Structure 1
Amino acid sequence: MAIINHFDKRSGNTYVYESISYWDKEKQQPRSNRTLIGKIDKETGKVVPTDGRGKKRNQVASDIKSKQGPVPIESVKRRFCGATYLFDEISDKLGITTDLKSCFPDTYKQILSVAYYMILEDHSPLSRFERWDDIHKHPYGKNISSQRSSELFASITEEQKNKYFSFQGRRHAEDEYWAYDTTSISSYSEVLKQAQYGKNKEDDRLPQINLALVFGEKSGLPFYYRKLAGNIPDVKTVQNLLCDLSTLGFDKVKLVMDRGFYSEANINALLKEHLKFIVATKVSLSIVRVELDKIYDELATFPNLNEQYDVYSQTVTTEWDYVQERPYKGDVLRDKRRVYIHLYYNIDKSAEDQRNFDRKLLTCKRELLSGQRIKEHESFYKKYFEVKETPKRGIQVEVKQDAINQAKRYYGYFAFLSNEKMDSITALELYRNKDVIEKAFGNLKERLNMRRTLVSSEKSLDGKLFTAFVGLEILSYIKLHMQQKKLFSDYTLQSFLDKLDVIECFENPGYELRIGEVLEKQKKLYEAMDVLPPA
């Protein structure tokens, strides 16, 4: 359905029609039925009902914006639309447009347009949006200046964001595991309270904020993020995450996390809420080491070899010493909870670990012999070397072979802790699917230009992050389908988007939008995205 304006030279009036396209089977060509809605008042520019057969209800005629369909074309334009058409279709398919419209009824089109711009113009500042607007068709359809984009970002509230996260989360598979991780985003701004110096994962010497992201492993899509102060370690974020998810209405979730999130307090919190989890752990943990020692001699044997992942693996059942403080009763509840430890051994990892360890031993021995000790290595010296010094023989350094043998005994081994019954390979596959979140961080920083931020206020940063998150949802869908259809053998993400971005559309007042030529290769790319080509 489309809304069409038609200028009548005889009367000097511009009439507004509702046009519905259909396929004529007899004539084998597209046709359309047009129904007169009214005419445009020359003074007010509003649509007023006519007295003829096409008269519509006053409500429909007086407010043409309330009707679904495109805004009437007002000027002659020729613009690129192939990539933004794809984004429109993906946004509709994922419910992004519907959910944004529910949460941001006045600004959802601007949010979509800026998100599209961030995807296609990955390294360009928002000050260049006007140039992009001139040559691209997009939801808002008008320029968004730097000042207007700042106002847009500042208008996005926490309540609106949480409502959107809740809507999007309910569209995900109910039984899927959710990958959770954090990344650091550096900032040049001096006005951000949460920009702090912390453990920067990319060795960037700038204050940073941390961004926590939750991804669905089956859907391959993000649906929640949270901004954190840059000096908060990963392990401290889990319990607040659980509170956030509960607030959004997600009480029964399954989380996959790396070992930076492991702590006894976090495991107790997950068990308390009866949530399923898979968490990577250090082999040095006593609960893991005890179980590994029991099966050490049999783990790396042929029956436990998995050819696909090139690992030896086995799952054991054990008990977790559950502790829950109950302030309301003034006591501490202690109990045993069943958990599963998934143990793995990889020969290549073992060889690499030993090689790195031996190189560190050589480096530290040279430091000791030269007398140029490094403060950060003191604990390593003490653990693995015996150092003696006499006036006659000077510095003598001997290795503690028993300590070295003990360290090398566990090289090549790694472990996961879970509370849902599954075999070791299933646990490994679920954990490795967490790679999708690492790729998402790359998209966020590189493709959406969020590696380093320069904003004028906390509100602007919050709004810009949310808009980038919307872009990340669309990007994640595209990359997931490119991977599934093996398109990365022929295209990069950039060349894929470029291939579609050259498709043009033509706008003329009184006529429907006309799409330029779409080649067969371009049609196949749309089909690979499960999207019908534009027509």
Structure 2
Amino acid sequence: MVERLYYWDKEKHRGCEKRNYLGYVVGNQFYSNDDYHRLFKRGGVKRLVEQDDESVKSGSLSLDQLGSLETKLAAEFPVYHAIAQEIGLTEDLAAVWGKDKANAALSIAYQWLHTGSNAAYLYESWSVNKLLPYSRGISSKEMSEFFASLTEVSGWRKDFFNARISRLPDKEMLSFDATEIAAEAAEISYAQYGMGKEGGYQRQLGLILLVGHESHMPVLFRVLPGNITDVTTVQDMLFGF
């Protein structure tokens, strides 16, 4: 939206115009210039991660809200989403991080399941014309900001995992598994030299996953330095979480 101010320029001997840019209208809602640039990227695409802590109305597209003229590749994504809803994962994610971020996290997970690869930087090009709960593309930079923003929510760890644990059967037995993940990223402090799965030493980090033995539902995880392999130490780090 622009405010136009007309005046007579004595030096130029003609009428001139000054423009005062007030803001933008998106979806019949007015945003000031600051709010627009905080909430939207260039071209009017809503940011997945806002530039500050204020929240705005969710812009996710449900799997059942596609326009009549849109063509989307469904593949197995509705099956993934039905499973996520059945086990309460969509509800628990949304309760902690909100619907937009929950749908984005699920869509990224569906890419990993669909491609058998965790090459998340390819998500933006891969997601085009896919039937996903989060309808917008996510650039590599925005995805890094997105994952970092999840840990900034106060009490997220306790709230999310308590919700997952409460969904286990009353007599469920818990089992855990530990694995190592190779990593060359210098900025990851947990990436330490340790014995690799196939022998030899490599930079790696450890991941412990706690699951329900009967339900197979993951309920807790812990990342640890890659040079820790002692089983007792792993148990202490997991249950002292």
RMSD between aligned residues: 2.7
Matched, 1:239 2:221: no
SS at match of 1:179: strand
More helix by share: 1
Matched, 1:139 2:121: no
What pairs up with 1:506-517 in 2 under 5 angstroms?
none
Shift of 1:71: 7.8
Matched, 1:223 2:205: no
- Going from structure 1 to structure 2, the CA distance change for 1:44 and 1:139 (only over 3 Å counts) comes to closer
Shift of 1:222: 1.5
Shift of 1:237: 2.5
Counterpart residue number, 1:123: 117
Contact 1:186 1:204 in 2 (8 A): no
Counterpart residue number, 1:198: 194
Show structure 2 runs of 5+ residues with no match. 1-24, 30-55
Shift of 1:75: 7.7
Cα distance in 2, alignment partners of residues 202 and 160 from structure 1: 36
Counterpart residue number, 2:50: none
Contact 2:194 2:201 in 1 (8 A): no
Contact 1:182 1:234 in 2 (8 A): no
Contact 1:210 1:230 in 2 (8 A): yes
- Going from structure 1 to structure 2, the CA distance change for 1:192 and 1:218 (only over 3 Å counts) comes to same
Counterpart residue number, 1:103: 96
Counterpart residue number, 2:28: 46
Cα distance in 2, alignment partners of residues 155 and 206 from structure 1: 29
Shift of 1:113: 0.8
- Going from structure 1 to structure 2, the CA distance change for 1:234 and 1:64 (only over 3 Å counts) comes to closer
Cα distance in 1, alignment partners of residues 118 and 237 from structure 2: 35
Give per-residue Cα distances to partners, 1:104-132, cap 9 Å, x unaligned: 11411111111111111223622322332
Percent of residue pairs identical: 27
Contact 2:195 2:202 in 1 (8 A): no
- Going from structure 1 to structure 2, the CA distance change for 1:243 and 1:160 (only over 3 Å counts) comes to same
Question: TM-score by structure 2 length?
Answer: 0.68
Counterpart residue number, 2:204: 208
Counterpart residue number, 1:87: 80
Counterpart residue number, 1:345: none
Contact 1:65 1:71 in 2 (8 A): no
Contact 1:99 1:168 in 2 (8 A): yes
Cα distance in 2, alignment partners of residues 124 and 227 from structure 1: 17
Counterpart residue number, 2:173: 177
- Going from structure 1 to structure 2, the CA distance change for 1:164 and 1:202 (only over 3 Å counts) comes to farther
* Matched length: 186
- Going from structure 1 to structure 2, the CA distance change for 1:122 and 1:64 (only over 3 Å counts) comes to same
Cα distance in 2, alignment partners of residues 81 and 125 from structure 1: 21
Contact 1:214 1:224 in 2 (8 A): yes
What pairs up with 1:335-484 in 2 under 5 angstroms?
none
What pairs up with 1:488-499 in 2 under 5 angstroms?
none
Greater relative contact order structure (CA < 8 Å, 6+ sep): 1
Give per-residue Cα distances to partners, 1:406-461, cap 9 Å, x unaligned: xxxxxxxxxxxxxxxxxxxxxxxxxxxxxxxxxxxxxxxxxxxxxxxxxxxxxxxx
